[in-house]
Amino acid sequence: MEPLNADQMAEVHFMVAQLQIVLGQDNQARKGAEEHLKKIKDGEPDKYACYLTAVIMDPNAGADIKALASVVLRRGITSSISGNTKTLWEALSPHAKNFVKSNLLLTIRSVQTKDLIHKMSNLLVEVAGGMYEHEEEAVWQELLNLVFEFVNSDNNLFVDAALQIFNGLFSYIIDHLNKFKQDLFGIFRKTLNHSSLDIRLASLQAVSNYL
């Protein structure tokens, strides 16, 4: 997709409003907002995925809204569209897929909170899973490049995110990752001895899942 125009941004703001209602306390209003989002997903999957991605990208959106958008999109990626045997990821056009992939990779670099980076990491894994299950391109090389970059970062948030993404990818592309076994062992040695307890624990979990 091309960069969003003014009309499309207005629709993104409508989606933000629906997400805000979902976070609210009014159960009836929440059900209505969830139904609005479902109609967009079933009727216009490209808009659904790209607009949720745009919410995550929006510097003016609150962290709670971005986190919810990440969760909603993650859950939608591999779920079926009503009246269709295709999953959301299968239903997306190539342009929409490229919009989602490129902008998520770009946006995660600017995340500064653990909660949001974890939710985005899980979303990236789900996109990679959709590619693995439904496309000939089984390996999302740009994601692997990001993960190897993050795991060698001085930013603890990025290191933690890299380990979380590795954890998820082991379920999909373990055979491919085995080609980098020595690199992985080096990463595990480094992160198991990290100064951060959170990163040591994340590394231990990654090692357990890998083995």
pTM beyond 0.85: the answer is yes
Residue pair 56/69 in contact by the 8 Å Cβ criterion: yes
pLDDT of residue 1: 52
pLDDT of residue 136: 58
Average pLDDT over the chain reads 89
Query: pLDDT tens digits, residue range 82-122?
Result: 777 789 999 999 999 999 999 999 999 999 999 999 999 99
Other CB atoms closer than 10 Å to residue 178's CB: what's the count?
11
Q: Which residues are paired to 80 by β-bridges?
A: 87
Query: pLDDT tens digits, residue range 23-80?
Result: 988 889 999 989 989 899 999 999 999 999 999 999 888 999 999 999 999 999 988 8
3-state secondary structure the chain: CCCCCHHHHHHHHHHHHHHHHHCCCCHHHHHHHHHHHHHHHHHCHHHHHHHHHHHHHCCCCCHHHHHHHHHHHHHHHCCECCCCCCEHHHHCCHHHHHHHHHHHHHHHHHCCCHHHHHHHHHHHHHHHHHHHHHCCCCCCHHHHHHHHHHHCCCCHHHHHHHHHHHHHHHHHHHHHHHHHHHHHHHHHHHHHCCCCHHHHHHHHHHHHHHC
